[in-house]
Amino acid sequence: MPATRPLNAGPRARRCPLAAAAARGTIAGAVRVLFVILAFALFLAPGRAPAAGPVDAPHVEVELVADLDSIRPGEPFDAGIRFTLEKDWHVYWSNPGDSGLAPRLRWTVPDGTTVGAIAWPHPHRIAIGPLVNYGYEGEIILPVRITPPPALRPGETLRLAARADWLVCKEDCIPGEAELTLALPVSDASPPPRSRWAPLFDAMRALLPRSAPALQVAAFRHEERLELRLTGVDGTPVLAGVQPGTLSFFPADPDHIENAAEQPQSIGPDGVTLSLEKSRQRREPVERLRGTLVAWPGFAPDAAPAIAIDVAVRDALPPGGTAGDLVATTAPESEPAAAAGATTSLGLALVLAALGGLLLNFMPCVFPVLSIKIFDFVRQASGEPATLRRHGYVYAAGVLISFWVLAGILLALRAGGEGLGWGFQLQSPAFVVVMIFLLFGLALSLLGLFDVGLGMTALAGRVPQGDGLAGSFATGVLATVVATPCTAPFMGPALGFALTLPAASALLVFTALGAGMALPYVALCLVPGWLRLLPRPGAWLETFKQTMAFPLLATAVWLIWVLGQQAGVDAILGTLAGLLLLALGLWLRARFAAYERPPRTRSLAHGVALVLALLGLATGLLARGTSGDAAGVANAAGERDLYGIAWRDYSAATLAELRAVGTPVFVDFTAAWCLTCKVNEHVVFSSAEIRAAFAIRDVAMLRADWTSRDDEITRALASFGRSGVPLYVLYGGAGDRPQVLPSVLTRGIVLDALAKIG
């Protein structure tokens, strides 16, 4: 900080040696002092986070703080600047209002670290005589998302520095500036320990504007006023939880409305209208209203205290028109919600679900199980038709009940407020590990390593002696369970729609899906004549059965890759080691539990096999625990994917920022376990023509990775009427409605969509 700055009152740093060094003007000096402090801190109190400490400036204390006491390599976290203000003094929001100046941060961070923009919590109106400012009083943090380099190692330190300047005012104003630093130790603690500032970070995050999918916002132009109108989507009560008179709009643009003017609000049965006075010094019409709408205590459905507004302003309603004709929606991403609901009817969804269920039988997860089952059936084709029919029904019941249980769990969790969508089970690494073991075990069974006892084979194909109805039921359950990794990617959109319906209709869609899946088997049972159309059983059947192990193994390979995306390379190692133990156990059992062995050897072999299998599964599950969640590392911001595209991580804030400056944005909602997504991405992005078409238009590429649970992405999906991936959204220039592309992409579709944005 040059000493010659012509400011009357810069902040004086007197509290700690680090800040003093910063004030003397050398970052190097500050860093050296920091080092000493760090060494001391590490020596005296191992594990305590060293902090650069607060800086005392006139009327305000300023400090760089982080949400965490230690960070993990490559994992984004929130840092920010803390202002603790003297009573009656304030600092400003991004738009300061009639006077004042927003605080500014200029960061110096190590290579490979990315720093986001300030996420502005909603401000308060601060009246100064006849003027109104937008700002903050008391103690606040302005949060900034930091992504540290993935190459950091535990034991290292991430050093952040920011030059902050701000204006602090009561009625008179004093500018301040300071060089602030923050050193954060890197560790592999999971979850990372939160800092003493975590509660304040949480409080600030609660004040960030959110998107409001349940609300529609329209804006209309009158002579000297602008009218902001909120209506509920599908009868959602707009004002549930909002006290009349507490609405307050904070404009993002400084010259659109009169800051000091009252914002009269009228409340009717179908919504609320907020009247804003157009800036008297603005001659041009206001084309777009952008900003933050605040209400007390909060907006439905989740009591958000603030929502983001970005809406085109239209001419005032013609007489006789209805608001519905002209309604545009709030946060830009929520626009197509109504349209999605309107175009997919329940009947269509039922047909699609049944067809999808039918197709599931040919997926690599299900086909082996089902085909083996069918050929076992062929062997018994001589059986009583009545018995056959009963097997068909019981199998169908197994499938349907399994689907109902899955859907029931999902609906119940969603009703409980969990941000889950179809495919949620694959977001759990533990579930993925169990699926891998199940598929691997089934494959070994098909290869002939074991085929007696314990049920696996009974489940997979061999109907036990006698009636064997339990076996048929179990086959239905097993087919559904092994089908889940395949349903999620292929059925995502249809099931996503189902989840937007009332529970009864949603269950109907799931029923159609199960019925479709059970149909071929049931048909074979009901019309035994059809069995004769199948090839005769023979030696080839054994070959066929063994061949079917490989689609299962392929599915397991794919799930191992998914697991790696979710939980990192350690989890892969643990799972593979666990599979090795399982294979060893099963081999021992096959080798030493054969009928010709003495009974003691046989029971010992059984026991050892069981122990090894359980040990293997435990190894797989526990390795996940030590590695923790490493999602996002593979797609770290700024890195290029295999097609050479530099994706940025999706967040509503990033999207809003890009949209604010009119940058076209493509959002790819995807997940590692979503095969459709991977196929789409390959079809589209392997084409140089498409990559060029994106590049020419300077389209910002955002990737919303739903591989692991992410409530923000779930909310964004919901705003488009979806509850699963894939989803592709293309935003054009400022004010354009986003285009939602189909779930199955072709190059032509993408090029056409791009052509529309110019």
Partner 1 sequence: MKANHGGSTRLMTVLGAALAAVALLASARTAAADAVVGQAAPAFTLTGTDGKAHSLSEFQGKYVVLEWVNHDCPFVKKHYGSGNMQKLQKKYTAEGVVWLSINSSAPGKQGNFPPAEADALTKEKKASPTALLLDPDGTVGKAYGAKTTPHMYVIDPKGTLVYAGGIDDKPSTDAADIAGARNHVDQALSEALAGKPVTVASSTPYGCSVKY
In the complex, the residues that contact partner 1 under the rule CB under 8 A are: 5-9, 96, 98-101, 128-131, 133, 165, 167, 169, 171-175, 224, 244-245, 254-255, 261-268, 275, 277, 280-283
CB of 177 to partner 1, least distance (A): 8
Three-state DSSP state, 672: coil
Identity of the residue, 142 or 498, whose beta carbon is nearer to partner 1 in the bound complex? 142
Element (H, E) at 289: strand 288-299
Per-residue b/e over 694-704, b at no fewer than 16 CB within 10 Å? Answer: beebebbbbbb
Sheet holding 77-85, edge to edge: 55-57, 60-66, 77-85, 139-147, 114-118
In 3D, which of 378, 668, 301, 718 has the Cα closest to residue 544? 378
Can you list the pairs that 234-238 forms with residues at least 24 positions away whose Cβ atoms lie under 8 Å?
Answer: 234/338, 234/341, 236/300, 236/301, 237/300, 238/271, 238/272, 238/299, 238/300
Identity of the residue, 128 or 637, whose beta carbon is nearer to partner 1 in the bound complex? 128
Identity of the residue, 290 or 462, whose beta carbon is nearer to partner 1 in the bound complex? 290
Identity of the residue, 133 or 719, whose beta carbon is nearer to partner 1 in the bound complex? 133
CB of 219 to partner 1, least distance (A): 18
CA atoms of 661 and 290, how far apart (whole Å): 11
Strand pairing report for 648-649 and 700-705: parallel
CA atoms of 574 and 563, how far apart (whole Å): 11
CB of 29 to partner 1, least distance (A): 22
CB of 286 to partner 1, least distance (A): 14
CB of 327 to partner 1, least distance (A): 21
Q: What is the DSSP string of 468-537?
A: -HHHHHHHHHHHHHHHHHHHHHHHHHHHHHHHHS-HHHHHHHHHHHHHHHHHHHHHHHH-GGGGGGSPPP
Q: Are residues 149 and 110 in contact, defined by beta-carbon separation less than 8 angstroms?
A: yes
Query: For 720, phi and psi rounded to 5 degrees?
Result: -100, 15
Q: How many CB atoms lie within 10 A of CB 479?
A: 26
CB of 289 to partner 1, least distance (A): 16
In 3D, which of 338, 334, 330 has the Cα closest to residue 295? 330
Strand pairing report for 104-108 and 157-169: antiparallel
Three-state DSSP state, 314: strand
Identity of the residue, 156 or 277, whose beta carbon is nearer to partner 1 in the bound complex? 277
Identity of the residue, 101 or 312, whose beta carbon is nearer to partner 1 in the bound complex? 101
CB of 570 to partner 1, least distance (A): 49
CB of 222 to partner 1, least distance (A): 12
CB of 473 to partner 1, least distance (A): 49
Longest alpha-carbon distance in the chain: 101
CB of 171 to partner 1, least distance (A): 7
Q: With both helix axes pointing from N to C terminus, report the angle between 549-567 and 367-379 in degrees, rounded to the nearest 10.
A: 150
Identity of the residue, 257 or 432, whose beta carbon is nearer to partner 1 in the bound complex? 257
CB of 15 to partner 1, least distance (A): 24
Residue 388: partners with Cβ closer than 8 Å, 6 or more residues away: 377, 525, 528
Identity of the residue, 264 or 324, whose beta carbon is nearer to partner 1 in the bound complex? 264
CA atoms of 735 and 311, how far apart (whole Å): 7
Identity of the residue, 227 or 451, whose beta carbon is nearer to partner 1 in the bound complex? 227
CB of 484 to partner 1, least distance (A): 46
CA atoms of 617 and 128, how far apart (whole Å): 67
Identity of the residue, 261 or 501, whose beta carbon is nearer to partner 1 in the bound complex? 261
Identity of the residue, 172 or 689, whose beta carbon is nearer to partner 1 in the bound complex? 172
Identity of the residue, 244 or 321, whose beta carbon is nearer to partner 1 in the bound complex? 244
Residue 685: partners with Cβ closer than 8 Å, 6 or more residues away: 641, 643, 645, 691
Cα atoms in the 13 Å half-sphere on the side-chain side of 717: 32
- Token readout for 11 is 């902040």
CB of 253 to partner 1, least distance (A): 9
Within 380-468, where are the H helices?
Answer: 385-415, 429-446, 456-460
Identity of the residue, 269 or 599, whose beta carbon is nearer to partner 1 in the bound complex? 269
CA atoms of 364 and 368, how far apart (whole Å): 7
Identity of the residue, 279 or 719, whose beta carbon is nearer to partner 1 in the bound complex? 279
CB of 57 to partner 1, least distance (A): 13
- What's the first-to-final CA gap in the chain, in angstroms? 46
